[in-house]
Amino acid sequence: MISRSSLNWSPLSLLLWVSLVPILGCGGQLANQLANINIFSDAEEIKLGGEFSAKIEEELKIYADPHISDYINQLGQILARNSDRPNITYHFKVVQDDSINAFAVPGGYIYVNLGLIRFSHTEAELAGVISHEVGHIVGRHGMKQLTKQYGFAALAQLLLGKDKSQLETLATKVVTSGVLLQYGREAEREADTLAVQQMHSSGIDPNGIMTFFEKLLGTEKRQSTKIGKLLSTHPGTRERITRVNRQIQKLPVASYASVDSIRFQAIRKRLRNPE
C-alpha cells in the first residue's frame, strides 16, 4: 500500500502524473489503488474541509454554552494531540441535537451531538466516540471518500480554480448527499483501532468504548430513531465489541487516570438542569 505521507503531492503534480498513466499502461489496477489513497496535502484538505464545515454549520444548531463546548473541545484536543496526526488544528463543536451521534469533516472538524453527551455515563464512554471521530480525521477517510465519489481530477481542479462559487457548490452537494457519512466498513474498523490507541496514549481507559457499545446494543432495538445515521452504517456493534476487546487485551498494562471525571459529571448535571 502506498503511504500518503511519502506522497505529499499537489493537485498539479498529480494531474501530470495521471496523464502519464495510460502511457505506462497500468491504468486499471492503479485506479483501484487510487480509490483507497488520499492524494491531497494537509493544506488542501483544510481548505476543502473549511468550506464544508461552514456549509454544514448553516444547517446545524451549534450549542453555545461555553461550559459544555469548552469541555468537549479540551477533551477532543487531548485525543488529537495523542493521535498519529497531531499537526493540524482540530475544531470540536457541540450540536443541539438529541440523536446519539458525532461526525467528522475533513480538515479536523468534529461535531458532537448533545444526545451523545447525555447518553454517555462516563467520560471514557464519551471520549471513545470522540476518539473514533478523530480516527476518521487521522485516517483521512473523508478525503478518500470524496476522491472516490467525485474523482481526484475534479477535486484538484476545484482547489486550483479561482472561482470560489464552484467550491461552495460542491460543499452544498456534499452536505445534502451525506457522502461524508458513508466511509465504509474498513474505514470504520480503522477508526475504532485508532480510537483505542489514542485513548490509551491519552491515559483515558479504552474500555469506555466497550461499555458505550454495550449500551448502544441495548438501545438499538428500543430507540433506533435516536441513533443517528452515522452509527447505524457502522459494522455490527457486536463485531466491533469483539475487535475492540481483542485490541485492548494486547495493550501494555496501564493504570488509567480514571474512567470518569468530576468535570464530566458536572456537565451531565448541567445538561439535566440548564441554568
Q: Which residues of the shown chain bind Zn ion in the complex (CB under 5 A)?
A: 188, 191
| Long-range Cβ contacts of 233-241 (<8 Å, 24+ apart) | 233/181, 233/182, 233/188, 234/185, 234/188, 235/185, 235/188, 235/189, 237/213, 240/188, 240/189, 240/192, 240/213, 241/210, 241/213, 241/214, 241/217
Q: Least distance to Zn ion from the beta carbon of 33, Å?
A: 23
Q: Residue ranges of the alpha helices (H) in the chain?
A: 11-24, 27-34, 42-59, 66-81, 114-119, 123-138, 141-150, 152-160, 164-177, 185-202, 207-222, 229-232, 237-250, 262-272
Q: Least distance to Zn ion from the beta carbon of 83, Å?
A: 15
Rounded Cα distance, 253 and 230, in Å: 32
Q: Least distance to Zn ion from the beta carbon of 15, Å?
A: 31
Between 153 and 184, name the residue whose CB sits nearer to Zn ion: 184
Between 51 and 188, name the residue whose CB sits nearer to Zn ion: 188
Between 149 and 169, name the residue whose CB sits nearer to Zn ion: 149
Q: Least distance to Zn ion from the beta carbon of 208, Å?
A: 16
Between 48 and 130, name the residue whose CB sits nearer to Zn ion: 130
Between 104 and 159, name the residue whose CB sits nearer to Zn ion: 104
* Entry field: residues in the chain: 275
Between 123 and 188, name the residue whose CB sits nearer to Zn ion: 188
Q: Least distance to Zn ion from the beta carbon of 204, Å?
A: 18
Cell numbers linked to 224: 433506533
Q: Least distance to Zn ion from the beta carbon of 165, Å?
A: 31
Q: Least distance to Zn ion from the beta carbon of 187, Å?
A: 7
Encode 39-63: b = buried (16+ Cβ within 10 Å), e = exposed: bbbeebbbbbbbbbbebbbeeeeeb
22: Cβ–Cβ under 8 A, 6 or more apart, which residues? Answer: none
Encode 198-219: b = buried (16+ Cβ within 10 Å), e = exposed: bbbbbebbbbbbbbbbebbeee
Q: Least distance to Zn ion from the beta carbon of 186, Å?
A: 11
Between 124 and 191, name the residue whose CB sits nearer to Zn ion: 191
Between 191 and 241, name the residue whose CB sits nearer to Zn ion: 191
Burial class (CB in 10 A: 0-12, 13-18, 19+), 9: middle
